[in-house]
Amino acid sequence: MDKPDSDSGHSPSVDEKNLGTRPVEYDGPAHRDFPPDHDAHLSREERARIDRRLLWKLDLRLIPWLCLLYLISFLDRTNIGNARLVHLEDDLNITGGQYNAALSLFFVSYSLAEPLTNVLLKRLRPSVFIPAIMVAWGICMTTMGLVHNFQGLMAARFFLGLAEAGLFPGINYYLSCWYRRDEFGIRAAIFFSAAAVSGSFGGLLAAAIAKMDGVGGKAGWSWIFILEGIATVLIGIASLWMVFDFPDEATFLSDVDRERVIRRLKADQQSSAEHEEFRMTYFWASVKDWKTWLFAAIYMGADGPLYAFSLFLPTIINGLGYQDTQAQLLSVPPYAAAALLTIFIGFLADRTHQRGLCNLGVSVLGIIGFAMLLGSKAPGVQYAGTFLGALGIYPCIANTITWVSNNTEGVYKRGVTMGFVIGWGNLNGVVSSNIYRRKDRPTYYVGHGVVFAYLFVFLLGGSALQYVLLRRENARRRAGKLDHLVVGKSKKEIEELGDIRPNFIYTL
C-alpha cells in the first residue's frame, strides 16, 4: 500500500529499490544517518542474496526460541482448564463460581501490568527482562501445584498474571524492531501459532501427567502445575543465553550485519532503527490516537473468544459426552488446524498488505462455528463448530497485532500502543472466565452467545470500520491534505511525528 514514486517527485534510492519501500519525503528519518552501505559495489541480485541470508540468520536465532517461550507461557496460563478435568475443584473443595473467579483474577493483574511492560523491556534489555519474568512465573506455576484451598489458588493466579504480563506484548514489540513491516506478519503468525500448538500439546501432556495421580501424595492436577512450572524455570534460566538484545546491540551479529539490519529498517522508515529516550509525550501520543482504541476493540473481539475457547474447550468437549482423557485428546485437532491457518494468513497478509480484509474473512469462519454450537445439539456438528471456532479466532490474534505494529511508528509509541491494545484484549479474559457456567451445561448457550457477539460486533465490525477509516486517511495523505503538518519543521521534529507524518501510508 505504499505511495508511488511519482507522488514524491524524486527517484528512489538503491536501498528503496532493493527493499521494496517507497521513497522518503521531507528528507525524513529514513535518509538521515544511514549506516555505511557495505554492499554498494554489488549487483542487485548479489545484494538480494545477502539480504536473504541475513533474514535466514535472524529467523534461526530469534523465532524458534521465542516460539518455545510463548508455547510455555500459554500452556502455563491455560493448563488450569486441563487440571479441572482431573478433579481440581473437588480436591480444593471450590465451587464453579470460585473456579471462574480464579481464572478472572489472572487477567486482572495480567492486563493492568501490560501497558508498562514494553517500556521496561526497552529500558532493562530483552536479555534481562524476558528471562527474569519467566523464572518468576515458573515459580508461581509450581506453587499452584502446592495449594490446598481457594485462597492459595487465587494468590498463585494473581502473581502468575503479573509475571506473565510482559511476554506476549514484549516479544511482539521486540520482533517488530527487527523486521520490515511486510516481513513481520508471517513471523508474528509463526510465533503466535505456538499458542495453538500449546493447546494441542497441552491436552496430550496433561493427559499423560495426570496419570501420576497419587505419586508423592499429590493429585494428578497438582503434578500438571508442578512439572510445567519447573520446566518454565529451567527454560527461563536458559533464556539468559538464548534471548538477544535489540539490533544495534545483538551479539550474534557481526558489526557489518548489525549495520545491514539497521539500514534496512531505516529504508523501511522505521524509528525502531533509531535511539529514543522515553518521554511522556510518546505515552500521550498513543493515548490520544483514535487508532489505539479502535485496534483495542478489534483485538478484544479476538482475544475474548480466544481465552473462552482455550480455557473451556476441554469442558465443552466433555459436555458433548466425552470423558476426561478422551476429552483432553479430542481438544488436540482444532488447535492443530488453527496453527496451520494462522501461519498461512500471516504469509498471505504480508504478501497482499491487506490485513483488514484477512481479519474480515477469517472472522466469518469463527462466527459460523459458534453459530453451529448455538444452533445444533448433535455432537458431530458441535465438534465441527469447535474447529471453525478455532480457525476463526487464532489467525486474527497475530494478524491484528501485526496490523497495529505496521500502523504505529515511533519506538516507545509503538510499545505503549501494543501494551494498551493487548492489555485491553486480555482484560476481557475476565469476561471469558465467567461465561461457561456449570449450570449451563451441556448446551452452554450463554458462553457460545457471548463469544458469537464478540466475534460479530468487535472483530468483524471493528475490522470493517478500521479498514474504511484507514483507507480514507490514506486518500487524504496522498491528496496532500496533511502536508501543512511538516511546514517549517526540522528533520528531528518531522521524525518525531511518527505515523502522523504526511508520507506515512497506513497498511490496510
Write down the pLDDT at residue 493: 75
CA–CA dist 367, 372 (Å, integer): 9
CA–CA dist 170, 115 (Å, integer): 10
CA–CA dist 144, 102 (Å, integer): 11
Q: pTM of this prediction?
A: 0.78
In order along the chain (508 residues), what is the average pLDDT of each group of 10 residues?
38 38 39 68 86 92 92 84 86 89 89 82 88 95 94 94 89 86 87 76 80 89 94 96 88 88 78 60 85 95 89 74 72 86 93 94 96 88 90 94 89 83 87 84 88 96 96 92 83 77 87
Per-residue pLDDT of 53-81, as tens digits, reads: 999 999 999 999 999 998 888 888 778 88
CA–CA dist 344, 160 (Å, integer): 32
Closest CA relative to residue 315, chosen from 97, 85, 50, 110: 85
CA–CA dist 379, 377 (Å, integer): 6
Closest CA relative to residue 262, chosen from 254, 48, 270: 270
**Helix, coil or strand: residue 37:** coil
Write down the pLDDT at residue 12: 38
Residue-wise DSSP of 86-108:
TTHHHHHT--HHHHHHHHHHHHH
Write down the pLDDT at residue 22: 39
Write down the pLDDT at residue 249: 83
